[in-house]
Amino acid sequence: MNQRERISEYQLAVLIGAGFVELGLYSFPRDVAEVGGRQHFLTIGLLLLLGLISAWILVAVTLYFGRRSAVEIVLDVMGRPLGLIMSAAAIAYHLFLGAICLRYFTDLMNTYFLPRTPPEAVMLLVILAVVFVVGQGMAATARFATAMVPLFVGVVLVAYLLVTYKISEWGAVFPAVELWPPTFLLGTAKIIYLIVGLETIAFLLPMVGKVTRPYFWVSVPMLVNGVVLLVIIVVTYGVMGIEPVAQLQYPGVAVLRTLRLPGLLVERTGALIALAWTVLKIGYLAVRFTTVPMALCSCFGLSVSRFRIFLLPVAVLVFFIARWPANTVEVAALLEDWVGPLGLAANVGFALLIWLVGWARGKGVNQA
């Protein structure tokens, strides 16, 4: 693989983290409140454990097949026609995830900051930035993420804590736990799926230059993420209360908007910080914009390092999917219900399936 595409294990960890922390701020508390009921943030420990296990399975499978990209492994193990169908499904899914993410972000900007700007313009701007960053190679993206992500996570956490200090309703944070098993399981599955970043692992692990402690480096972001999300959730609930959180599109932004530091040049400091989250959004999209073209490369039998060929077509495609709200809103609504259990099952299940088939057909690196 091209040296320019090599990333370090630490950078992979940060990229995984960027993906789900980004999800966390915008909608995670709402998801928890909606899906699992108000008690759900307490289950985060369980989520982390399950997430870790599924991530480890993915890492194990990827390493078992000699650190090729997910699509390459699938094509090799499953044979061409079946593998292509599976890869196409994965690619479509990723395209829609990227588009949904983009659409939500654009809506957010339209709601709070740029009401008169057409959403297309914001989308175009963000896509251009993402393509620009991604076009410089995976290593550059990863370096960028390592420099920026920890910084922004820190800033947002501090801002959140400031908000808490100012206004909080701690009664909302420690309600009694009255668990109801089906809701609990469904919600847990969705949340694990959202935070684990399985696709990121599957697609980016092969790019890691030197794999020495894979399990460790995959579990680090998950634990950090667990802590960050816990803070975000507790603070959001503390400030907003449970019912309002469930009704908000972007609870994180709403919380930050209540932060106001009089006397600063930018007085609505919280809103500014919410805006600064754009950087993480771009990081998250950058991962999608890398994985999809790379998967396409594998499908067409090209080297993964030539993913730039597909970068612009993918960008155009994502733009057009996100362009019409029906595409994203309805697909999101469709995904909403079964994305958790199914996404998890799809990732871990397929990983296990492929491992089994590969083992039966003698395709693994350890066997060869």
Q: How far is the CB of 266 from other proteins (least distance, A)?
A: 5
Neighbouring residues of 341: CB distance < 8 A, sequence distance ≥ 6: 185, 186, 189, 190
267 binds other proteins (CB under 8 A): yes
CB of 276 to other proteins, least distance (A): 6
Among residues 11 and 43, whose Cβ is nearest to other proteins? 11
Token pair 């998950």: residue:
222
**Rounded Cα–Cα distance for residues 257 and 325 (Å):** 26
Q: Does 13 bind other proteins (CB under 8 A)?
A: no
Q: Provide the terminal-to-terminal Cα distance of the chain, rounded to the nearest Å.
A: 21
Binding residue count for other proteins, defined by CB under 8 A: 68
122 part of the interface to other proteins, by CB under 8 A = yes
Assess 67 for contact with other proteins (CB under 8 A): no
Q: How far is the CB of 207 from other proteins (least distance, A)?
A: 15
Contact 240, 41 (CB under 8 A): no
Query: Between 260 and 361, whose beta carbon lies closer to other proteins?
Result: 260
CA distance 242 to 178: 15
| Minimum CB distance to other proteins smaller for 185 or for 261 | 261
* Candidate ranges 27-35, 113-121, 179-187, 317-325; the one touching other proteins (CB under 8 A): 113-121
**Residue number, 7 or 354, with CB nearest to other proteins:** 7
**Judging by beta carbons within 10 Å of its beta carbon (0-12, 13-18, 19+), is residue 10 exposed, middle or buried?**
middle
262 binds other proteins (CB under 8 A): yes
Q: Which one, 140 or 224, has the nearer CB to other proteins?
A: 140
Alpha-helical segments (H) within the chain: 9-31, 44-64, 70-78, 80-112, 119-134, 138-166, 181-196, 198-204, 214-240, 242-247, 251-257, 269-276, 278-299, 311-323, 325, 331-344, 350-361
Q: 79, 215, 223, 247: which one contacts other proteins (CB under 8 A)?
A: 247
Build a one-symbol-per-residue string for 142-181: x at contacts with other proteins by CB under 8 A, - elsewhere. -xx-xxx------------------x-x-xx-xxx-x---
The DSSP code sequence of 238-278 is: HHH-HHHHHH-S-HHHHHHHT---TTSSSS-HHHHHHHHTH
Question: Of the candidates 45, 132, 213, 223, which one interacts with other proteins according to CB under 8 A?
Answer: 132
Count of alpha carbons within 13 angstroms of residue 164, beta-carbon side: 19
Contact characters 280-309, other proteins, x per CB under 8 A: --x-------------------------x-
**The residue to which tokens 């820190």 are assigned:** 154
List residues binding other proteins (CB under 8 A).
Answer: 8, 10-11, 109-118, 121-122, 124-126, 128-129, 131-133, 135-137, 140-141, 143-144, 146-148, 167, 169, 171-172, 174-176, 178, 240-244, 247, 254, 257-258, 260, 262-268, 271-272, 275-276, 278-279, 282, 308, 311-312
